[in-house]
Amino acid sequence: MSKRKSSSSDDERRGHHAAKRRPKLAKKKKHLYLLVDDWERGYSVRKLDVDAFDYCDAAETDDLLPLEQHQYFTDPPVARIEALHEVSCHLTSHGTKIFAMQPGEGKPAIPGFDTHTHGVTICPWPSCQGNNYSNPLFVSVAGDKLFLFMDVLAEVLGDQPPYDSKAPWSWTTIKQARPPFFTGKVLCHAMHPDGRTLFVSAGSRRRRRPNRREEHYYSESESEPEPESESSEQGQGTFSFDTERLQWTKHGDWVLPFSGQAYFDAELDAWIGLCGERNCAGFLCSCDVVAAADEFITGASPPSWKLGQEKLFMNRQQLHLGVKLLYMGDSSFCLVESLIHKEDDHLFRDESILHVDSQFPLPRRRVLCINTFGLKYNKKGELQTKPRRAGACITYKRPHDFGESLSLTPSAFWL
């Protein structure tokens, strides 16, 4: 007797059961990585498990975490990266790797650290190397391409060849991808949820009247902002870059409301980032996603945005140096703030010494205040943090007085 031929539905059913029997690969747990300038030759790579942070109730304090609850690094660093302690040093992440993109002109290549394998690698210099290498914009797209944008050119780092390959790892110059703005004027950037379109706002924030939601946050002693001017600067506005077509599109003279990098959150259906608008420092904001270039309609108005209800760092502006926001997925975020130690406050009675270019050295002690929290919209549609928060304050000491790192912004990565 001949065997019955299996139908396509039988094959699909067997494939379904086989798939159910296959063990699922465990998702790699991510950690918070800090590159701390506590080593005289460069940076220590510190790996932190945010699940081990202490929890607190948001109702207990207006601030996220009191500075008094600080500790010190006790475990040795997972690695160290040689790089200059200067504002011109640029640390960036790509895939699972962290690169010190400007280790020093005398170095033959760029050092990198793989956070998943704990292996150390080297990346070739871009073709520009040390020429006009100020104020670059590095953007990693889907872990596949690392773009470098500068005033005069754009480059992309290709895939790393296999370890036994004789092919060199190299950058490619993309002449048509030269940005239509000055990279030193970049205010913020964010990836579109399509995974291929980069949005960048550059220029200057023009003064405008606050809306009703913002009026609450302006001090009575401050003058009301002047209405927005109709004139626009060259290279000012919001632009999108299609990383597949390698084309720029201008969306308007307006700018997105963020400062630094913003992130798309699917649950909130919005970009989330630190607010860069006047008198809104310390607040988060959410912004509607702008249509990608192929959906763009000429003359579209700026997207709507909402200011968060809580100020995430306050009452310590004199100690504040810089802050970085990280997205951990599922409407969860991590805020890393860099501060001068509170016991060094007496050194800053004269505000002129706070400038990086000043000859007066900043104190060596630093405090990294780290907080993790969730975001949601309340019943009124307002953006606010969820009640449960976690965090830690860590103190460390820089090895020398001069040469501030990363424009005082903490170098933190969620990988």
Question: Is 330 within a domain?
Answer: yes
Which phi and psi angles does 94 have, rounded to 5°?
-150, 115
In terms of domains, do 307 and 364 share one?
no
Question: Is 15 within a domain?
Answer: no
Question: Is 378 within a domain?
Answer: yes
The pLDDT confidence band at residue 314, using thresholds 50, 70 and 90, is low
In terms of domains, do 273 and 344 share one?
no
126-165 pLDDT tens trace: 887 655 467 889 999 987 899 999 988 899 998 888 888 8
Mean pLDDT of the chain: 80
In terms of domains, do 287 and 248 share one?
yes
CA distance 323 to 196: 27
The residue out of 311, 328, 350 marking a domain boundary is 311
Residue type, 300: A
CA distance 199 to 192: 7
Question: Is 264 within a domain?
Answer: yes
The SS3 assignment for 298 reads coil
CA distance 250 to 258: 18
CA distance 209 to 279: 12
Q: Would you put residue 66 in left (φ > 0), alpha (ψ -120 to 50) or beta?
A: beta
Angle, CA 322 vertex, CA 66 and CA 185 arms, to 5°:
155
Q: What integer pLDDT is reported at residue 254 of this predicted model?
A: 94
More confident residue, 250 or 360: 250
329-367 pLDDT tens trace: 999 999 999 988 877 766 654 454 444 444 556 778 889
- How many domains is the chain built from? 2
In terms of domains, do 284 and 337 share one?
no
In terms of domains, do 295 and 342 share one?
no
14-28, 185-199, 270-284: segment of lowest average pLDDT: 14-28
CA distance 203 to 225: 18
The residue out of 278, 296, 311 marking a domain boundary is 311
The pLDDT confidence band at residue 26, using thresholds 50, 70 and 90, is low
CA distance 97 to 117: 9
The residue out of 311, 346, 372 marking a domain boundary is 311
Asked whether 125 and 109 are in contact (CB, 8 A), the reply is yes
Percentage of residues of the chain with pLDDT beyond 90: 49
Average pLDDT over residues 308-332: 86
The pLDDT confidence band at residue 39, using thresholds 50, 70 and 90, is very high
The pLDDT confidence band at residue 369, using thresholds 50, 70 and 90, is very high
Q: Which residues contact 354 (CB under 8 A, 6 or more apart)?
A: 348, 362
Q: Say yes or no to pLDDT of 55 above 90.
A: no
The pLDDT confidence band at residue 233, using thresholds 50, 70 and 90, is low
Q: What integer pLDDT is reported at residue 380 of this predicted model?
A: 94
In terms of domains, do 197 and 291 share one?
yes
What separation in angstroms does the CA of 202 have from each of 227, 251, 255, 274, 289?
Answer: 20, 12, 7, 16, 17
CA distance 220 to 258: 24
Asked whether 324 and 336 are in contact (CB, 8 A), the reply is yes
Q: Say yes or no to pLDDT of 209 above 50.
A: no
Structural domain boundaries, residue 371: 52-81+317-415
In terms of domains, do 358 and 410 share one?
yes
The pLDDT confidence band at residue 4, using thresholds 50, 70 and 90, is very low
In terms of domains, do 274 and 387 share one?
no
Question: Is 127 within a domain?
Answer: no
In terms of domains, do 251 and 323 share one?
no
More confident residue, 402 or 14: 402
Kindly state the tokens that stand for 359. Answer: 């000859």
Which phi and psi angles does 51 have, rounded to 5°?
-65, -15
Question: Is 86 within a domain?
Answer: no
In terms of domains, do 285 and 259 share one?
yes
Question: Is 331 within a domain?
Answer: yes
- Give this prediction's pTM: 0.82
From 345, 348, 344, 343, select the one nearest 358 (Cα to Cα).
Answer: 348
Question: Is 293 within a domain?
Answer: yes
In terms of domains, do 277 and 334 share one?
no
94-108, 204-218, 283-297: segment of lowest average pLDDT: 204-218
CA distance 352 to 349: 9
More confident residue, 8 or 96: 96
In terms of domains, do 307 and 322 share one?
no
CA distance 200 to 189: 4
